[in-house]
Amino acid sequence: MINNGDTAFVLAAAGLVLLMTPGLALFYGGMVRGKNVLGTFMQSLMMIALVSIEWVALGYTMSFGPDLHGVIGSLAWLGLNTVGAAPSPTYATTIPQSVFMIYQCMFAIITPALITGAIAERVRFAPFLVFALLWSLLVYNPVCHWVWGSGGWLAARGVLDFAGGLVVHLTSGAAALAAVLVIPPRSGFGKQSFMPHNLPMTVLGTGLLWFGWFGFNGGSALAANGIAATAFVSTHLAGMAGMAAWSLIEWAHRGKPTTLGAASGAVAGLATVTPAAGFVGPVPAILIGVIAGVICYNAVNFKNRIGLDDSLDVIGIHGVGGFVGTVCLGVFAAKAVNPAGADGLLAGNPAFLGRQIFGVMVVGAYAFVVSWVLLKVINAVMGLRVSSEAEVTGLDLHEHSETAYNN
């Protein structure tokens, strides 16, 4: 039966998750040079159109439709067939199924948008759209089904992911790694410094992301209940702990705590706690945030040393965050917090940690390999990279015939 409080809650959460995509566009857009800000925006924003269409046509049924061998949803709900105002008997049984569908749509939108940060300032718009579409079909939807779909094989094995550590962050991080290996660095990389053109924009984006993350994680309880409360609290605490940890380590390491560091640490904490949010209490959430800040800071620095042009650190923050968070859940999960969850290592159940590590390996490897193949093929057929002349001109003018700022 429909519960109005739950429906209100998940609708609000869906709105919040939608807002994360412009939030991400601002977060990323502030970090690129002024000639690439609109191009960077477009890569995120256009996911709203592209993935929403894909989702209502195919994605929802592939992800959540009646299970086929644990691997994928059948096409029974093609084009939202039978998906209406009545609650699903399987998912989120106290809210209209259409609310569950649109809430999940917002997750499918932001996931490929996350990838764009890795290859910022150098990718052509059209081939990127082709990639994003195929990636949604071949990576996002299957993994989503495995982990969250009723009957999904990873779910059946007991792998847990509260709000998208595997489905969202690890898949996009693995794709980012593939993309950085396939697409050469920005010209001038390693010699020039590419300073952020507008850090206040990045801070604004961080604020909107944090705000939206309450919907992302809190809403994943799919009801306005104690689990939602647990997830909301964990989210906030891990975000703030990530921010604190990154800032302190940077202060110690470089002598100054930076604004971008604080923002990065916050996003690292928020991303890392995502798989665990509804399954752990406040103290583990803080620990997860601290771990996220420390590990992601080092991952980003390590990347700098090995010379990967993961321009806006998708691997180091989302990939590593999704990885670390899913494993941490294996350590910190406690049925005392959420009976629908699991007991982890610290609750005396190392087997669950093993399952989580297994989940990470499978999803990471699958997402990486498929992404790499997709990118290689698209690159061969269409050419993913802008010309060096276009790179000098900037994406805004070259790909969109616009300039961001005029006076």
Partner 1 sequence: MKKIEAIIKPFKLDDVKEALNAKGIKGMTLSEVKGYGRQKGHKEIYRGAEYVVDFIPKVKLELIVEAEQVEEVIECIRQAALTGKIGDGKIFVLPVEDVIRVRTGEKGKSAI
Output the six-digit token pair for 287.
Answer: 């620990």
Residue 264 site contact among its own copies, partner 1, none (CB < 5 to 8 Å, cut-off depends on kind): partner 1
By CB under 8 A, the residues from 211 to 230 that bind its own copies are 211, 214-215, 218, 223-230
The b-or-e profile of 202-214 (16+ CB within 10 A means b, else e) is bbbbbebbbebbb
Helical spans, DSSP H, in 222-349: 226-254, 259-273, 282-306, 314, 320-332
Residue 189's DSSP bridge partners are 192
Residue 260 within binding range of partner 1, rule CB under 8 A: yes
Residue 369 site contact among its own copies, partner 1, none (CB < 5 to 8 Å, cut-off depends on kind): none
Residue 402 within binding range of partner 1, rule CB under 8 A: yes
Residue 297 within binding range of partner 1, rule CB under 8 A: yes
Burial status of residue 306 (CB atoms within 10 A of its CB: 0-12, 13-18, 19 or more): exposed
From residue 169 to residue 208, what is the string marking binding to its own copies with x (rule CB under 8 A)? --------------------------xxxxxxx-xx-xxx
Residue 253 site contact among partner 1, its own copies, none (CB < 5 to 8 Å, cut-off depends on kind): partner 1
Burial status of residue 376 (CB atoms within 10 A of its CB: 0-12, 13-18, 19 or more): middle
For residue 354, what are the CA distances in angstroms to 75, 117, 158, 174, 357?
Answer: 33, 31, 10, 20, 5
Residue 247 within binding range of its own copies, rule CB under 8 A: yes
Cα–Cα distance, 386 to 382 (Å, whole number): 11
DSSP state of 216: I
Question: Phi then psi for 272, rounded to 5 degrees?
Answer: -70, -35
Cα–Cα distance, 37 to 59 (Å, whole number): 29
Contact between residue 111 and residue 167 where contact means Cβ atoms under 8 Å apart: yes
Quote the least distance from Cβ 301 to partner 1, whole Å: 5
Q: How far is CA 355 from the centre of its chain?
A: 21
**Residue of 301, 343, 350, 379 that binds partner 1 (CB under 8 A):** 301
Q: Find, among 173, 179, 172, 203, the residue nearest to 120 by Cα.
A: 179
Quote the least distance from Cβ 400 to partner 1, whole Å: 8
Query: Which among 56-64, 79-87, 356-364, 390-398 is the span making contact with partner 1, rule CB under 8 A?
Result: 390-398
By CB under 8 A, the residues from 16 to 35 that bind its own copies are 16, 18-19, 21-23, 25-26, 29, 33-34
Size of the site for partner 1 (CB under 8 A): 27
Nearer to its own copies by Cβ, of 101 and 147: the residue is: 101
By CB under 8 A, the residues from 45 to 104 that bind its own copies are 45-46, 48-50, 52-53, 56, 79-80, 84-86, 95-96, 98-99, 101-102
Radius of gyration of the chain (CA): 20
By CB under 8 A, the residues from 265 to 294 that bind its own copies are 266, 281-283, 286
Cα–Cα distance, 20 to 110 (Å, whole number): 7
**Residue of 54, 67, 250, 309 that binds partner 1 (CB under 8 A):** 250
From residue 165 to residue 204, what is the string marking binding to partner 1 with x (rule CB under 8 A)? -----------------------x--xxx-xx--------
Residue 161 within binding range of partner 1, rule CB under 8 A: no
Contact residues for partner 1, defined by CB under 8 A: 188, 191-193, 195-196, 250, 253-254, 256, 258, 260-261, 264, 297, 300-301, 304, 313, 392-393, 397, 400-403, 407
